[in-house]
Structure formats: structure tokens, C-alpha cells
Amino acid sequence: MKLRQYQVDAFATRIFEGNPAAVVPLDAWPEDSLLQSIAEENNLAETAFFVPSDREFHLRWFTPLCEVDLCGHATLASAHVLFEHMSYPGDSIIFDTRSGRLAVRKTDGLLTMDFPSSPPRPIRPPDALIAGLRQKPIEVLAAQDYIAVFENASIIRSVTPDHAILRSLDLRGVSVTAPGEGDGDTGTRTDFVSRFFAPKVGIPEDPVTGSVHCALAPYWGDRLKKNVLAARQLSKRGGEILCELKGNRVFLRGQAVTFMTGEIDLASFHPLGHLPGRPVRHTLPS
């Protein structure tokens, strides 16, 4: 049995930028161990798998180490695959996930994800957080991840964390963030910048992290008194996310480009007659 796989650079306008994700369409769910093995073999921040269900899709995300509750860039990549490679007929896709029903809409060349807002709460920072970042933030908050706030973008660029220490923290990962800065070449300005480290789930540094902006956007929106914010993640690859706050939802907008298409050959994984799942035909909901 062979599975079709796409590798997509999310939150990017050209390849080699943004955050790469693998996307594997399925007709039915195999054993979880196979999904985890594929994600480990891909060794990307996330591998996304989806299965059609009535007029929706059941979507799951796996890091090389485990399944996660929410992943923004792999959701964007999955919608990109459906729109660009599988001839999805509508302009809005609904994904049923561990984090509820998530919608992705295609408008004016952008993909807009409708995610739940997760405002972070101020906390007393764990000693391991300060030791792991090797920098002392001016404020620390927590939601799904720790958020360490610093004075400026230069500090965010200079952070060189001790991943072994950060791995000991109880939450998924750590986002470091600061007020935005201007771009001298384009004249544009970001409202806030960030980086994200998640060695606990096998991701030392994530290039662009959609899900953490569900917490970053409400924090900076409240601090800057803005509902629409331009964000940039200052990883080596870099990426931009436009965030809009509406009640208890965060709308994250970006683009995606396909880097590669290929096939996963499972002939040697199991004797063919015992392979979990069934042959994949890429059937879309009617």
C-alpha cells in the first residue's frame, strides 16, 4: 500500500521559508503507531493526517515524538493541499480536531484559520524557565505554553536556550516575545515578534507556530489596544502571521507553498494483508 504525501511550507510565499509540514490524506484511520512512525520518519515539526467525514475532515497532528492538541501551520498546510492539490470545491473547510471544529477559509490569496483564543495568565516563572532561557524576562505568562516577555526584538534574536532544561518544564513549550519593529527595506512594521521552543515534544525551535499565536495575539492585542496585529516569528526561516481578534476567536492569516509531493511505500511495514486501514483513494466529502 502507498500513501500520498505532500510537504508544504506554511506561512510562506516561497519555498525554504515559513514552517514545513507533511500532509498525508487518508480514507480511514490506521493504527496510531503507524501515524507516529510516519511522523518520526519525516522528522518535521508536524505531520498532519486527515480523513473525510460527511462534509468535514477529521484532522490530527503528530510531532516526531507524540500527537498534539493543536497545530496552526500544519492546519494551514492541510487546507492548502485540499484547495490546491485535491480540487476541494468550496472556499471554506471544516476540520474536526482535538481542539474542536476549526475552519479555514480561502480569500484573496490568503488562508484564514478560525482558532479559539487562549488569553495567557500572569504567573510566577519557574526557576527552570529562567535557567533554560539564560535570560530574565520582564514578565511571564502561561496558557498552553509559557510566554516570556522581553523588552525588544534584539533580545529575542539573542536567546540561546538550554533545551535540556526547557524539556523539564510541565507545559508544551516556551514562547519568547517582544514588541515589534520596523523593516527598513519595506517600510512595514510588525506589532510583535516571537520565537518558540518545544524540546519536550521533539521540536528544539519551531520556525513559525500558528497555535501559540492564540495566546500571543490576545496578550499583545490587550497591551497595544488593537484587534488586528501583524506578527513575525524570528526563527532562521522566519514567517509572518496576520492576527485578528474577534471575541473568543483568533483569526490567523497566511500563505502556503508546496515544496514536494511523493509517496510513502508501506509494503515492508506489514504483510500487505495485515496492514491497518485500507487503500487510499483521496475521496472528498460530497
How many whole angstroms separate alpha carbon 239 and alpha carbon 232?
Answer: 6
By DSSP bridging, strand 249-254 and strand 239-246 are antiparallel
End-to-end CA distance of the chain: 25
Catalytic choice (17, 46, 205, 240): 46
Is 46 noted as a catalytic residue in this protein?
A: yes
Give CA angle at 273 (267, 275), nearest 5°: 60
Q: How far is CA 212 from CA 15, 26, 53, 92, 249, in A?
A: 23, 27, 28, 23, 13
How many whole angstroms separate alpha carbon 238 and alpha carbon 163?
Answer: 20
Give CA angle at 130 (125, 136), nearest 5°: 95
Active site residues: 46
